């Protein structure tokens, strides 16, 4: 078999659409997943884990559509997760059929604590299942990844055995997950070295790592793993994912880029080699981060490394003085590297539909004619208020349009009256799913509260607002305001996002978007409950 350990480049495996989407409230519909998958392809990720095909018909559909549209000859490998169960693996293989390059990623727990309490199986039973299911996955395609879940807490000798058998059965990538974010960087590096030294057939597979950020060490663990032989990093945009999230793609990629001279020798390269360590087009990082944040409703903390609003801001006088004299005094990387200052003024009041469409296409937005028409109206409206329209404004308009595609309730009108002598009052009109126009009004503690109460009177689905945030897209008094909200219904969280120069309108629209997601989920649940057990 081919010796994979000579690989001198790091493979970036993005799991934003699978592990990332598993965090509460980050649920995306198929169109939104497609939009993100296209952007991930533009970013240059090597593998997109598009979902968990067996999990639900929606997941299956998303994996299949991504395989169809993004899994092209020159596109990334499209992967689906599958438990080490025949039905899961079969569903993954079926959903992946349209992809030119496809991968099944199958997993089973191997730590004693998972075996005893979760699987209720012995080590030898799990060993046999792993081997059998990898071979089964291999019967569908060549590219098979195997993960021993909770590997970081698995007894190493047993882990070596499982990995050896999985590779012998056909796994081409073996992934070492720190499922609970427990391990330290040195321990994780040692674990990878132990695997390289003790798994006899390890050179026939790529070693991948996957990890969660419960103790804030995921990225550091991965970098230590690279030094010890890991060649595939499984990560998410903005580090979103279960609990404290996954290792963040942008942090890993930029650490490997900025410190490439440090990492080069570990990959068998000359220390001063300038050749990139990953295939990522770093100038797409900021845009991808914003897209994922807008569509998932998962806000990026301002001090987040690489993509946070303050990541390149210098507040203190001493720093500003130094940067003005020579950027390198306080900056280790240029903001343009992540595409941050590509905010050109591109269009204005007199720009036509064609220029608008062309620029959106250049920015990577592929819209249907209806979406484009609606977005163009918003653009014209904005251009009337704001002289110069930048790429960021266009992205805000386009993202806003794409997100509102699943429209059940439509906001027709919102009007507020407020001020220091007035009782905040709002009137709203919504178009209901049956095409009926319903108007209601409410008072609240402030204008947004009044709007939300009025909308609730119309929609009538009990929910609790758990997060509300407003941010401006660009500087200036005429900037677009982006509102992101998250609301809870029973034990589920739904997010909504909208952009408008009027933040009350954006607030109302974001709320209606979240309620539309909630209503769509209730509708799907209702349909499922109506099915007979055989149909379900």
| Interacting residues with Zn ion (CB under 5 A) | 19
Q: Of 241 and 297, which CB lies nearer to Zn ion in the complex structure?
A: 241
Residue 179 within binding range of ligand KIV, rule CB under 6 A = yes
Residues 6+ apart with CB under 8 A from 66: 17, 33, 34, 37, 48, 50, 51, 78
Instruction: Convert 152-204 into a string of H (helix), E (strand) and C (coil).
Output: HHCCHHHHHHHHHHHHHCCCCEEEEEECCCCCCHHHHHHHHHHHHHHCCCHHH
Helix (H, G, I), strand (E, B) or coil at 120: coil
CA angle (171 as vertex; 167, 172 as ends), nearest 5: 105
Q: Of 177 and 447, which CB lies nearer to ligand KIV in the complex structure?
A: 177
Which does residue 365 bind out of ligand KIV, Zn ion, none, counting CB within 5 to 8 angstroms by kind?
none
CA distance from start to end of the chain: 43
Nearest to 509 by CA among 412, 436, 418: 412
Enter the tokens of residue 247. Answer: 């290792």
Residue 147 within binding range of ligand KIV, rule CB under 6 A = yes
Pairing type for strands 47-51 and 77-83 reads parallel
Residue 107 within binding range of ligand KIV, rule CB under 6 A = yes
**Helix-helix angle 123-138:86-96, to 10 degrees:** 30
d(CA 307, CA 237): 10
CB of 183 to ligand KIV, least distance (A): 12
**Total residues interacting with ligand KIV, rule: CB under 6 A:** 9
Helix, strand, coil % (nearest 5) of the chain?
Answer: 45, 20, 35
Residue 183 within binding range of ligand KIV, rule CB under 6 A = no
Enter the tokens of residue 63. Answer: 């994996």
Q: Of 146 and 160, which CB lies nearer to ligand KIV in the complex structure?
A: 146
Residue 149 within binding range of ligand KIV, rule CB under 6 A = yes
d(CA 439, CA 442): 11
CB of 241 to Zn ion, least distance (A): 6
d(CA 302, CA 470): 13
**DSSP label at residue 10:** P
Window 251-290: contact mask with ligand KIV (x via CB under 6 A): ----------------------------------------
d(CA 443, CA 471): 25
Residue 222 within binding range of ligand KIV, rule CB under 6 A = no
Residue 76 within binding range of ligand KIV, rule CB under 6 A = no
Q: Of 19 and 393, which CB lies nearer to Zn ion in the complex structure?
A: 19
**Residues numbered 15-44 forming contacts with ligand KIV, rule: CB under 6 A:** 19
d(CA 474, CA 481): 9
d(CA 503, CA 472): 9
Residue 486 within binding range of ligand KIV, rule CB under 6 A = no
Q: Of 118 and 261, which CB lies nearer to Zn ion in the complex structure?
A: 118
Helix (H, G, I), strand (E, B) or coil at 524: helix
Q: Of 147 and 294, which CB lies nearer to ligand KIV in the complex structure?
A: 147
d(CA 102, CA 78): 5
Q: Which residue is at the shortest CB distance from Zn ion?
A: 19
Q: Of 26 and 459, which CB lies nearer to ligand KIV in the complex structure?
A: 26
Residue 213 within binding range of ligand KIV, rule CB under 6 A = no
Which does residue 250 bind out of Zn ion, ligand KIV, none, counting CB within 5 to 8 angstroms by kind?
none
CB of 19 to Zn ion, least distance (A): 4
- For ligand KIV, which residue of 20, 75, 76, 177 counts as binding (CB under 6 A)? 177
CB of 214 to ligand KIV, least distance (A): 11
Helix (H, G, I), strand (E, B) or coil at 84: coil
Q: Of 164 and 178, which CB lies nearer to ligand KIV in the complex structure?
A: 178
Pairing type for strands 492-500 and 47-51 reads unpaired
- For ligand KIV, which residue of 65, 103, 165, 210 counts as binding (CB under 6 A)? 210
Q: Of 81 and 280, which CB lies nearer to ligand KIV in the complex structure?
A: 81
CB of 412 to Zn ion, least distance (A): 42
Which does residue 149 bind out of ligand KIV, Zn ion, none, counting CB within 5 to 8 angstroms by kind?
ligand KIV
Q: Of 19 and 143, which CB lies nearer to Zn ion in the complex structure?
A: 19
Enter the tokens of residue 287. Answer: 């845009």
Where does this chain bind ligand KIV (CB under 6 A)? Answer: 19, 81, 107, 147, 149, 177, 179, 210, 212
């Amino acid at each position: 078999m081919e010796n994979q350990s000579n690989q001198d480049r790091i493979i970036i495996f993005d799991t934003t659409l699978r592990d990332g989407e598993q965090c509460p409230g980050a649920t995306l519909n198929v169109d939104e997943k497609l939009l993100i998958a296209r952007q991930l392809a533009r970013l240059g990720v090597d593998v997109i884990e598009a979902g968990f095909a067996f999990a639900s018909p929606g997941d299956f559909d998303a994996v299949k559509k991504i395989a169809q549209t993004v899994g092209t000859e020159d596109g990334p490998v499209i992967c689906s997760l599958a438990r080490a169960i025949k039905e899961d693996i079969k569903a993954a293989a079926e959903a992946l059929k349209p992809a030119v390059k496809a991968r099944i990623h199958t997993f089973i727990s191997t730590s004693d604590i998972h075996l005893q309490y979760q699987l209720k199986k012995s080590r030898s039973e799990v060993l046999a299942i792993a081997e059998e299911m990898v071979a089964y996955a291999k019967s569908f395609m060549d590219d098979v990844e195997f993960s021993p879940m909770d590997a970081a807490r698995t007894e190493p000798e047993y882990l070596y055995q499982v990995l050896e058998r999985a590779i012998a059965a056909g796994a081409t990538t073996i992934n070492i997950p720190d499922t609970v974010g427990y391990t330290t960087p040195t321990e994780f590096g040692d674990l990878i070295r132990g695997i390289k030294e003790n798994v006899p057939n390890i050179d026939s597979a790529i070693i991948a790592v996957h990890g969660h950020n419960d103790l804030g060490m995921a990225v550091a663990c991965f970098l230590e793993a690279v030094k010890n032989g890991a060649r595939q990093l499984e990560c998410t945009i903005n580090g979103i994912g279960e609990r404290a999230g996954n290792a963040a793609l942008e942090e890993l990629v930029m650490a490997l880029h900025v410190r490439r001279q440090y990492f080069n020798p570990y990959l068998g390269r000359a220390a001063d080699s300038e050749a990139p360590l990953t295939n990522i087009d770093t100038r797409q990082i900021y845009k991808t981060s914003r897209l994922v944040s807008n569509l998932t409703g998962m806000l990026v903390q301002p001090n987040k490394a690489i993509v946070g609003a303050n990541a390149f801001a210098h507040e203190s006088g001493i720093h500003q003085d130094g940067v003005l004299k020579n950027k390198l005094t306080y900056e280790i990387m240029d903001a343009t590297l992540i595409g941050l200052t590509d905010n050109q003024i591109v269009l204005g009041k007199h720009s036509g539909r064609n220029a608008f469409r062309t620029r959106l296409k250049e920015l990577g937005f592929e819209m249907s004619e209806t979406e484009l028409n609606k977005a163009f109206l918003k653009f014209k409206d904005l251009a009337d208020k704001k002289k110069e329209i930048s790429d960021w404004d266009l992205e805000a308009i386009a993202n806003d349009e794409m997100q509102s595609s699943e429209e059940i309730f439509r906001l027709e009108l919102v009007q507020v009256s407020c001020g220091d002598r007035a009782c905040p009052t709002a009137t709203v009109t919504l178009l209901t799913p049956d095409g009926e126009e319903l108007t209601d009004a409410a008072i609240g503690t402030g204008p947004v509260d009044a709007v939300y109460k009025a909308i609730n009177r119309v929609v009538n689905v009990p929910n609790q607002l758990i997060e509300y945030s407003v941010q401006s897209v660009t500087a200036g008094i005429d900037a677009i305001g982006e509102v992101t909200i998250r609301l809870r219904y029973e034990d589920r969280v739904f997010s909504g996002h909208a952009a408008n120069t009027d933040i009350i309108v954006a607030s109302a629209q974001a709320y209606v978007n979240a309620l539309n997601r909630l209503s769509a989920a209730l509708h799907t649940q209702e349909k499922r409950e109506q099915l007979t057990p055989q149909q379900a």
